[in-house]
Amino acid sequence: MCMRYLFDCEFDPSGCVLKEKRLHADLLAGYNRQTRPVLNESDTVHLQMGLGLIDFTIDPVSDVMESLVWVRAMWVDEYLRWEPSEYEGLTKSFFNPNQIWMPDICLYNGWDASCHVMAKLSSNAIVDSKGGVLIVPPVRLSHRCELDRTNWPRDVASCRLKFGSWTYDGNRLNVSYYGGNAAAAADISDLVQSSEWEVANFTAEREVKYYDCCPEAYHSITFMITARRNEHRTAELSVPIVCSSVLMLLSFLIPVQSPQKLTFCWVSVLITVLGLFNMFSRMPSDAHGTASIASFYVVFVVLLLVFTLLEVLVVLLSRPRSTPLPRCLRACLSGLVGRLLCLDTPLFHDYSQEDNEMLDAPHENGGEMKHMVKDIGKTYEWALLAGAADRLCGLAFLLIVAVSVPPSITWA
């Protein structure tokens, strides 16, 4: 019938306009758009409402979503009925929303002061001969969202759009799902794909609520949008962690006597601190204490500082000493522990009688070779102990990095 109507209007526009003018004049004569469109005051207006999400943006600072939606509303206006035969077969007509009754649907949790959605209409309503009214206007809405910044910068936004009548209770205006079910009422088939946000879920839920002021029930429909941020610059957050981990691991491969050993450690700490400052400069202030990556960065900086201090102690431990290494430590380093750590312990043995006689022989400069060798042995023993401690620290750091770093940066 709609195609027939358009076909007739295309080939006889003057006749179509005359029919509609006469229809509008007859229907709107004495029409009161301030009263509900029912012949019996006790009857209920049944409103079917749905929402088509077209496009949206979310401000990460104010957590406000600006959305473009198609509000789909359908109801029956008993004062807009006619017999098609009396208007040359006209079965549908278009009415300006300012000419007919409109439900006072309001976005309860709107961000701006003007909450009445139907007051923003700019498209005509389609009315059939049985009084069925359909209007699908594009509307821009502003509303607050709750942002979960635990996985920042992959934020998860949860937005609730609650629609309902501002004045009519459920006995006067019954709000139900457009299309008969929640799945049909919440539609994202026409959504413009965004490079920044991805809609994970869009659902609708009908609610009947009683307020303290009034005994009647009030109907509403809440549309829930769950969106995840698609962040493409996450490599900036993971590169400092990876670089500092590699530098710290390389420091354990450098001999304890080398001055570059501590340089590698402090450079790794500096890289991580710079990465931490860069992350905080990009992160919203309310995410500093909730984002897991921020907590990981802080813990990782502390971890690097701890192992850097351990490396300082290892370097100090390798300095020459006059006291011999305790027997228990010598036994450990010359035994299984030394072999597992791949330590070279040629001085960890008891001298034979022939060796002692040779070492007791006077040196050509007047000293005793035995004292010289023992001093060298003491220095070497402490150096071996420092090397063992260094390798144990390296293994511990490698284990911690292997367990903690990949799960924390794989999202990047």
pLDDT in tens, 196-211: 889 999 999 999 988 8
User: How far is residue 251's CA from residue 268's CA, in Å, rounded to a whole number?
Assistant: 10
Peptide bond into 153 cis (omega under 30): yes
Beta strands in 60-113 (DSSP E): 64-81, 92-95, 105-107
Tokens representing 314 are 């290892």
Question: CA 226: distance to chain centroid?
Answer: 10
User: How far is residue 30's CA from residue 47's CA, in Å, rounded to a whole number?
Assistant: 24
Kind and range of the H or E run holding 222? strand 217-229
Tokens representing 245 are 């981990």
What pLDDT does residue 120 have? 65
Q: What pTM was computed for the model?
A: 0.71
What pLDDT does residue 45 have? 94
Neighbouring C-beta atoms of residue 269, cutoff 10 Å: 19
What pLDDT does residue 292 have? 82
In this structure, what is the dihedral angle of CA atoms 134, 138, 139, 145, given to the nearest 10 degrees? Answer: 100
Decide if 165 contacts 175 (C-beta within 8 A): yes
For the chain, list residues with pLDDT below 70: 1-17, 112-121, 232-233, 286-289, 318-386, 408-412
What pLDDT does residue 184 have? 92
Tokens representing 58 are 């979310």
Q: Are strands 138-148 and 92-95 parallel, antiparallel or unpaired?
A: unpaired
**What is the DSSP secondary structure assignment for residue 248, as one 8-state letter?**
H
Decide if 201 contacts 226 (C-beta within 8 A): yes
Q: Are strands 186-187 and 45-59 parallel, antiparallel or unpaired?
A: parallel
Decide if 264 contacts 248 (C-beta within 8 A): yes
List all residues 6 or more positions away from 402 whose beta carbon is below 8 Å from its beta carbon.
none
Instruction: Read off the pLDDT of residues 37-66 as tens digits, 9 standing for 90 and up.
Output: 999 988 999 999 999 999 999 887 788 899
What pLDDT does residue 409 have? 64
Diameter of the chain measured on Cα atoms:
137
What pLDDT does residue 205 have? 94
Kind and range of the H or E run holding 230? none
Q: Taking the domains of the chain in order of start, what are their residue ranges?
A: 2-229, 235-409
In degrees and rounded to multiples of 5, residue 385 shows phi and psi of: -60, -40
List all residues 6 or more positions away from 6 whose beta carbon is below 8 Å from its beta carbon.
none
What pLDDT does residue 380 have? 52
Tokens representing 15 are 């006749």
Record: fold of 2-229: Acetylcholine Binding Protein; Chain: A, (2.70.170)
User: How far is residue 300's CA from residue 289's CA, in Å, rounded to a whole number?
Assistant: 15
Residue type, 69: V
Closest CA to 171 of 207, 210, 218: 218
